[in-house]
Structure 1
Amino acid sequence: MKDLISKGLALGLGLAVVSKEQIEKLVDELVKKGEVSTSESKELVRELFEKGEAEKKEMNSRIHEQVEKLLKDLNIPTKADLERLEQRIQELENKE
């Protein structure tokens, strides 16, 4: 039952956008309904929270990759590119 609940929450709610308080509230409701025991509830909250944090990191990584790809496709210079140009300009000015 616990696995079924975890999978359902991961798919249905999108754990990446659910706060720990929301997870606790949902698990408390499951305890009240008798679907999860009190002893399992803390572990379930921890597991769901950890899964949510992992999903957030994965989502952020994917978003970062997509933004970098978009900037590259649009031929927009990165901060590193601009810093290199500024350094090169400074070097050229110092030679004069």
Structure 2
Amino acid sequence: MRDRLKKGLALGIGLAVASKEQIEKTVEELVKKGELSQQESKEYMNELWKKAEETKGELDAKLQEKIKHVLADLNVATKDEVQVLEQRIRDLEAKLSKQD
């Protein structure tokens, strides 16, 4: 079971972007081949799904960081910077309207 679990965790990385249904199908195939019992399949399925979710989270975080670097390199304003500028414009407009 441990060897299968290790192989499954590697498979889980590949399944990080897969749906739960795809993972279930893969586990069902292992049961049909006799490589897993029904009880083991439930545990295995849960472990694969957990690993896939963890990997997906890690990939998302890395992607977000990469996007930040690309935008910084392109000198593109961030959402926060735009919001600050919008607030400054509103403040200036309010000052101007008071002067009239």
Q: TM-score, normalised by structure 2?
A: 0.84
Q: For residues 1-96 of structure 1, what are the structure 2 equivalents within 5 Å?
A: 1-10=3-12, 14-96=14-96
Q: What letter corresponds to residue 79 of structure 2 in structure 1?
A: K
Aligned CA RMSD, in angstroms, stands at 1.5
Most deviating of 30-39 and 44-53: 30-39
Unaligned runs of 5+ in 1: none
Identity over aligned pairs, percent: 49
Secondary structure, aligned partner of 1:17: coil
Q: CA deviation at 1:8?
A: 4.1
> Which whole-Å CA distance do the structure 1 matches of 2:9 and 2:16 have between them?
13
Deviations 1:3-31 (A, max 9, x none): 243144135xx121221111111111111
2:4 and 2:38 mapped to 1: Cα distance? 12
TM-score by length of 1: 0.87
Tell me, in whole angstroms, the C-alpha distance in 1 between the residues paired with 2:36 and 2:89: 65
In structure 2, stretches of 5+ residues that fail to align are none
